Amino acid sequence: MSHHLRCSLDRLREDLLALGQIGRNPDDKGLYRMAFTEADMEARRWLLDRLRAAGADAKLDGAANVVGRWEGADGDLPTIVIGSHIDSVPAGGIFDGSLGVLAGLECMRALRDAEVKLSRPVELVAFSDEEGRFGGMFGVQAYTGQLTLNDVESMKDPDGVSLVDAMKACDLVPSLAMEAARKPDRIAAFLELHIEQGPVLEAQRTDIGVVLGISGIFKWKVKLLGKADHAGTSPMDMRSDAFMGLADFAHEIPRIIEEDGSERSRLTVGKVDLVPGHPHTVPGEAVFTLVGRDTEPDVLRELAKSCRKVLSAIARRHRLYFEFEEMSWLEPRPCDASIATAFRSAAERLSLSHIDMPSGAGHDTQFMTDVTRAGMIFVPSANGVSHAPDEWTAWEDVHNGANCLLQALLDVDAGSEGETLETGG
Ligand SMILES: [Zn+2]
């Protein structure tokens, strides 16, 4: 066992800062490296060079995922995949996604320097369009075989640019995306390191967050329908005021979570329209979005049921009608228990504090859970900021995360990642 092995923070820092220059808008502090833009392609070429310099066989697969591969000592074993993404949102930060990819690269260099040969092959993947410029997570969906040619041909960005046109402009062949799909039985495990993008680890002064699962999400469009009346002539007790219904519902949210949710539940009313929306008119209609999240499928269903019950009781109380439309329902994706165990024991060997936590944001890991034993860890985000130019993670935390990834990789390769390990692979 190579428990003394550590990543080089100097090399990792150098890579993060170098990649952090690609797609940087000179007038702005942030990164503009949206999927299939010129800057994104430049970043992919830069990464291919870095992977080759570290001894990997590196190429773009059919979905333009950057894939670097190192063969193992036993050529016939399924592959351990490490990955994240290098695309950014507009005005994004330098750690989101890039940390997981470049830390994975640094792990492989640390192993090479120490002349440690893993028994399994390792693939390091920077998945295309994790940030969802074209509406999904194109790269990892292709890699895990969860994409149809029809999906590829119908994906568009918010400006109406099709994925097909964007790929062709980069000299890529969109239909080849189907060939990016891997056989699940050739993948042994998936590991991802990512910044938390939230305030919890910093607030709790904890080094590592071991992710238990990616939250499922339901998104509703809710309508409370009352009666628009003159605000002066209609007495308070004779109104059907849709806003009062919405206000009552908002007030009930903490109780709904307390009674039917969990500490990982989230309910958010993010967008509200009052109709007719006039200062001197009682609002006859309140149209709003309701987004619910939890990591447990049953809890998410209970939350949804409870919201429906509460809304209909409130509607009756205020003489309103209530309708809702389910815009989307995404099942929670639990991470693998044996991979979580590997990350926990890695953190303990490194004397790092750790807590278990959910991921409220989506990540490449969520699609990998469908095909293999997948797990991820978070390191702290300063002030919880992400998807913004002042996104920051302390270099010490960068180093901790990379070392934790390296130690977990060694355990998974050796098959010593805890009692819950399933046999085979
Ligand atoms: Zn990310």
| CA 380–ligand 1 middle distance (angstroms) | 14
In this structure, the answer to whether residues 129 and 31 fall within a common structural domain is yes
Residue span of the structural domain in which 236 resides: 216-330
Domain count, the chain: 2
Per-residue pLDDT, averaged over 342-346, amounts to 97
In this structure, the answer to whether residues 171 and 228 fall within a common structural domain is no
In this structure, the answer to whether residues 35 and 109 fall within a common structural domain is yes
In this structure, the answer to whether residues 53 and 65 fall within a common structural domain is yes
Q: How confident is the model at residue 291 (pLDDT cuts 50, 70, 90)?
A: very high
Q: What is the mean pLDDT of the chain?
A: 94
| CA 88–ligand 1 middle distance (angstroms) | 8
Q: Residue 40 falls within a domain, yes or no? A: yes
Per-residue pLDDT, averaged over 20-48, amounts to 93
Q: Residue 422 falls within a domain, yes or no? A: no
| CA 367–ligand 1 middle distance (angstroms) | 13
In this structure, the answer to whether residues 407 and 290 fall within a common structural domain is no
The token duo for 239 is 């109104």
Q: Residue 92 falls within a domain, yes or no? A: yes
In this structure, the answer to whether residues 250 and 378 fall within a common structural domain is no
pLDDT at site 75: 72
| CA 55–ligand 1 middle distance (angstroms) | 26
Per-residue pLDDT, averaged over 78-98, amounts to 96
| CA 113–ligand 1 middle distance (angstroms) | 29
pLDDT at site 1: 53
| CA 348–ligand 1 middle distance (angstroms) | 25
Per-residue pLDDT, averaged over 140-157, amounts to 95
Q: Residue 78 falls within a domain, yes or no? A: yes
For the stretch 183-218, pLDDT in tens is 999 999 999 999 999 999 999 999 999 999 999 999
**Domain end position, chosen among 304, 330, 356:** 330
pTM over 0.75: yes
In this structure, the answer to whether residues 31 and 140 fall within a common structural domain is yes
Q: Residue 421 falls within a domain, yes or no? A: no
In this structure, the answer to whether residues 185 and 150 fall within a common structural domain is yes
Nearest to 31 by CA among 18, 45, 50: 18
In this structure, the answer to whether residues 320 and 393 fall within a common structural domain is no
| CA 97–ligand 1 middle distance (angstroms) | 4
Q: What is the DSSP string of 130-189?
A: TT-TTSS-HHHHHHTT---HHHHHH-B-TTS-BHHHHHHHTT--GGGGGGGPPPGGGEEE
H runs (alpha helix) in 20-137: 38-53, 98-113
| CA 294–ligand 1 middle distance (angstroms) | 19
Residue 81 in 3-state DSSP?
Answer: strand
pLDDT at site 327: 87
In this structure, the answer to whether residues 310 and 344 fall within a common structural domain is no
Checking 10-16 for CB contacts under 8 A at 24+ apart, the result is 11/106, 11/109, 12/102, 12/103, 12/106, 12/398, 12/399, 12/402, 13/395, 13/398, 15/50, 15/102, 15/105, 15/106, 16/94, 16/95, 16/98, 16/99, 16/102, 16/398
More confident site: 262 or 422? 262
Q: How confident is the model at residue 410 (pLDDT cuts 50, 70, 90)?
A: very high
Per-residue pLDDT, averaged over 134-148, amounts to 94
| CA 155–ligand 1 middle distance (angstroms) | 20
- β 285-294/272-275 pair status: antiparallel
Q: Residue 375 falls within a domain, yes or no? A: yes
CATH number assigned to the domain comprising residue 239 = 3.30.70.360
Do 88 and 47 touch, CB atoms closer than 8 A? no
| CA 130–ligand 1 middle distance (angstroms) | 7
Count of helices and strands (H, E) across the chain: 12, 16
| CA 133–ligand 1 middle distance (angstroms) | 13
pLDDT at 392 > cutoff 60: yes
pLDDT at 422 > cutoff 80: no
